Amino acid sequence: MFPRLPLRALLPVLFFLYALNFMDRSALGVLGGAIQADMGLSDAGMGLLHSALLISLPLLILPAAALNDIAGRRRMLSLAAALWSGAMALAGCAAGLVSFGTARFMAGVNEAFTGAGASSWLAAMYPPSRRGKVLGLFFMCLPAGMALGTFTGSLSLGLTGSWRPCFYLLAACGLLTAVLVPLLPDAQPRVGAGAYASGIALVLRSRTLLLTGLGAAMYNIILYSYQSWTPTLLARAYGEEAGGTTGPAFAVMLLAGAIGAWAGGLLADRWQRRRRDGRVFAAMAAVLIMAFFKLLFYLCAGRVGYGPACVIGVVDGMFSILPMAVLFSIVQDVAPEEYRSLSVGVMGTISFLAGGAWGPLLTGMLSAAFGEGAAGMGAALALSALAALPACCFLYGMRASYVAECLAAARRSSSSSGE
């Protein structure tokens, strides 16, 4: 029997586990040109590979979330990490679109379990007054994972001349986390499957979860399209002028997003202290700010020099993850204690079905329709940024329900403490 790790290890281990999902996606983005050349894929075909994982998530998130709550987060997140490692190994061996697409589809298992399990785990182990800050620190794993994946993909391709070794390295990292997760501390309440099923209706009736999921769907269209296609945009827009540096340049842009992840958490906590629906307005502001800088970057790419475009890209990258901690804080504010993972799962399923899963594919199809050049890709990405407008409409519509459901959650918590 191995000893448990201390509480201070919880955030770093979950941070790395969740970051693996974004290392994988960003590595695929920077390796996309080599994969397309090797397999003879069009932009639409490559877009399908980007979206295959995202399409699998709506099928996996709700069962994964329920298993996290019933079977235990430690057990299920460790299993998910091991299965994800197998998917990465399969990707490294892939011979064509079908086998690679199958590996991408399987890779969704880690995000399905960890996306719901890790945020609910952290929310349960830290007080509500620090929830936004802790989740903001946790969601710094998105830009960190994206940047590390881009660096890893670029470096492995440069050193070996092949896109395959990167996926074998990711598989090894997944196995490491599969060993560490069972050693983490947790105070998760145990609930039987029968009792758990009887309370699911409470979660499914939540107007706040529905509208947060729809707002997150629009945000994810912007984020996943950016992550999947920006290396391609830079390579097409600047070619020889970039001198093969588009991968590292994009990694720096992604890494800048850590500032936004941290700032989003602080924004969520600060606005909530000022008004009962503060996190709703914080989410709207974060989405609009992020979309404005995305549009600015896409419209400048190819129209200004490579150096200025990279500077604009770094500034833009700072705001890419700004809404993330705010959206997850909203979900955890209204979630019943026994259904924290399921609540995230409901929000996540809606967000992927209603838009997130289709972002890279739609952007690739639009680029193909516009001619597949730098101008076509830039126009397609700029159109994706307009999804911020319906996102804000959905978020604004849940102000009253958010306040009411927060009060109901507080009453349930007080009643449980009294018992």
Give me the CATH number covering residue 383: 1.20.1250.20
What is the full DSSP assignment across 48-85?
HHHHHHHHHHHHHHHHHHHHHHHH-HHHHHHHHHHHHH
| C-beta contacts of 189-193 below 8 A and 24+ residues apart | 189/337, 189/338, 190/72, 191/69, 191/70, 191/338, 192/70, 193/70
> Is residue 2 in some structural domain?
no
> Is residue 5 in some structural domain?
no
pLDDT tens column, 296-333:
999 999 999 999 999 999 999 999 989 988 998 899 88
Range(s) of the domain holding residue 21: 14-185+192-418
For the record, the structure tokens of 407 come out as 């009060």
> Is residue 9 in some structural domain?
no
What pLDDT does 416 receive?
57
> Is residue 241 in some structural domain?
yes
The one-digit pLDDT tens for each residue of the chain (419 residues) are 556 888 889 999 999 999 998 898 888 888 888 888 888 888 778 888 877 887 788 788 889 988 988 888 899 999 999 999 999 999 999 888 889 989 999 999 998 899 888 988 988 888 777 777 888 888 888 888 888 888 899 889 989 989 999 999 999 999 999 999 999 988 777 777 677 777 788 888 899 999 999 999 999 999 989 988 898 899 899 987 887 788 788 888 988 888 888 888 888 888 888 888 999 999 999 999 999 999 999 999 999 999 999 999 999 999 998 998 899 889 988 988 788 888 888 888 898 888 877 888 889 899 989 887 889 999 999 999 999 999 999 999 999 999 999 998 888 766 655 54
Can you tell me the distance from the alpha carbon of 23 to that of 17, in angstroms, rounded to the nearest whole number?
Answer: 10
> Is residue 7 in some structural domain?
no
CB atoms within 10 A of CB 320: 26
Number of domains in the chain: 1
Listed residue (116, 17, 124) closest to 60, CA to CA: 116
> Is residue 3 in some structural domain?
no
For the record, the structure tokens of 113 come out as 């379990």
Cβ neighbors of 157 (< 8 A, separation 6 or more) are 30, 31, 34, 163, 166
Work out the widest C-alpha separation in the chain, in whole angstroms.
69
Can you tell me the distance from the alpha carbon of 117 to that of 72, in angstroms, rounded to the nearest whole number?
Answer: 9
DSSP structure class, residue 279: H
- Using CA atoms of 178, 184, 188, 193 in order, give the dihedral in degrees to the nearest 10: 20
> Is residue 74 in some structural domain?
yes
> Is residue 376 in some structural domain?
yes
